[in-house]
Chains A and B, each alone.
Chain A
Amino acid sequence: MEATIAAVMPEEDLDLVQRCRYGDTEAFGEIYHRYAEMIFNLAARMSGDRDRAADLTQEIFLRAFRKLDRFRGGASLKTWLYRVAVNHCRSRLGRRRRWFSPLAEEHGAEGLQLVDLRESPEESAVQWDRRRHLSRALATLPPDFREAVVLCDLQGLEYQEIAEVLGVRIGTVRSRIARGREKLRARLDETLLETKS
């Protein structure tokens, strides 16, 4: 089993997991610091609420800590944590997996925002507005599509990794991502038309 773990996990993760299994909570603290930002962003996109995302993040890591002895190393630690996170968000948020409060980017007040310096101020404003609409459209996607799109385009996972996280076939991942993006494109076009009219 350890040979399997070593094959798919970075050396540092392997070492941390082994230390956790011997009851070293400091090692799990390191795992937390390494992956907290990733899990927090996923939870924020799934719940649509940053305060809720903070609670979810803690719960997800506690759950992972308790289940670590069941981690067999068939996937990387990152993929396994994503799987724990997605399952936890599904069960905690239930069928109500959509945003009810605007995230920070809709206010433009907090958080990091990537700005393309080649854009003029007008272009930047248009792009900003477009992303704001996109963020809202993402909130209205069916949960299955949203999970796939968030994992692919916001978290940067490959199709194979997403399939492992969601526990579905790679063809299903491809279909969910494509249909999710297509719905987003259609909604953005509708919004653009409404704004012009």
Chain B
Amino acid sequence: MSRHATAHATVEDLSAYLDNELEPVRLRLVKAHLEECDECRGRADGLSRVVRDLRRLERFDPPPALGQHFLRRLHRSSQPRGFLQRLEEGLEGRNLQSPIGFSFALVLAFSALLYFFAGSMERHQRSQTAIVRPTLIPTSLPSEQVEPAEVGEAELRKIGEQTFLWQEGQWRQEGIARDASPVSVEAASSQGQQLLLSKPGLALLLDEGAAVVFKTEEGVFLLLPSSPTPKAQE
């Protein structure tokens, strides 16, 4: 119903009028309008027939066994419940009970598990490759004398305070310039033996069969092993 009695009534007004749910002022306006407007009276009659028929639709009686069945469930339900029952209650009414929804949730959970498992395996493998292979270190050596340096994937040896890098088929002491021209010395020679006595750790590198470039106060030397160099042939 709009502002004055001559305007047509809205369907909300007509419907509420039939239910006696209009406020007194509006009720008077609608009543007055219906007395003079055939169109609105026809619409009200149509709605009234629908309401009457709806109220005459049949009522259903619950199945006779439903009460007994429910009471049994009620007694079961009032007993202490386990985890699975509480989970079932939690899922109740969430549409997860439909087979499709539940299967989808399972697949999703399994995929997530697989993804995290694969990721952790990959991270583990990466961390393994970052460590220098321990098999190259003679097991008989004292650990404080020679130890692998933990620097990336480059192959290093630490002998005392000095670091040796594996470059171009030979061990090269860190800090020696590339253009330095070392003096070649046979390890078996007397000079070689003296150098080995002054730096005993070098013998460990020579035992692997590779030449070693190092420096002393006297200069830069290339100490050559007496046997063939299997490591250099790798």
B1-26 contact mask (Cβ, 8 Å, vs A): 1 or 0: 00000000011101110010100000
Judge whether B21 and A185 touch: CB under 8 Å: no
A54 in complex: contacting residue of B59, B62, B93, CB < 8 Å: B62
Judge whether B60 and A104 touch: CB under 8 Å: yes
B54 in complex: contacting residue of A41, A111, A154, CB < 8 Å: A154
Judge whether A59 and B92 touch: CB under 8 Å: yes
Judge whether A174 and B21 touch: CB under 8 Å: yes
Interface residue total, chain B, C-beta cutoff 8 A: 39
Q: How far is the CA of A44 from the CA of B71 in the complex (A)?
A: 20
Judge whether B16 and A178 touch: CB under 8 Å: yes
Those of A77-97 within 8 Å (CB) of chain B: 88, 91-92, 94
Judge whether A178 and B14 touch: CB under 8 Å: yes
Q: A residues within 8 A CB of B77?
A: 62, 65-66
Q: B residues within 8 A CB of A91?
A: 93-95
CB nearest neighbor in A for B46: A185
Judge whether B55 and A37 touch: CB under 8 Å: no
Please tell me if B38 contacts chain A, counting CB pairs below 8 Å. no
Judge whether B70 and A32 touch: CB under 8 Å: yes
B66-101 contact mask (Cβ, 8 Å, vs A): 1 or 0: 110111011101100000000001001111000000
Please tell me if B51 contacts chain A, counting CB pairs below 8 Å. yes
Judge whether A50 and B60 touch: CB under 8 Å: yes
**Chain A residues touching B, range:** 35 or more
Judge whether A104 and B58 touch: CB under 8 Å: yes
Judge whether B47 and A111 touch: CB under 8 Å: no
Judge whether A57 and B12 touch: CB under 8 Å: no
CB nearest neighbor in A for B56: A114
Judge whether A41 and B59 touch: CB under 8 Å: yes
Q: A62-B77, A111-B59, A182-B47 are in contact. Are A174 and B95 (CB under 8 A)?
A: no
Given A104-B58, A149-B54, 6 other A-B residues pairs in contact with their CB atoms under 8 A: A32-B70, A62-B73, A91-B94, A92-B93, A112-B61, A181-B11
Q: Which residues of B contact A (CB under 8 A)?
A: 10-12, 14-16, 19, 21, 46-47, 49-51, 53-63, 66-67, 69-71, 73-75, 77-78, 89, 92-95
21 chain-A/chain-B pairs, Cβ below 8 angstroms = A36-B70, A57-B62, A58-B66, A58-B73, A62-B70, A65-B74, A112-B61, A114-B58, A130-B53, A134-B57, A138-B54, A152-B19, A153-B51, A154-B55, A156-B55, A177-B16, A178-B11, A179-B12, A182-B47, A184-B54, A185-B50
Q: Which residues of A contact B (CB under 8 A)?
A: 23, 25, 28-29, 32-33, 36-37, 40-41, 44, 50, 53-54, 57-59, 61-63, 65-66, 88, 91-92, 94, 103-105, 111-114, 127, 130-131, 134-135, 138, 149, 152-154, 156, 158-159, 174-175, 177-179, 181-182, 184-185, 188-189
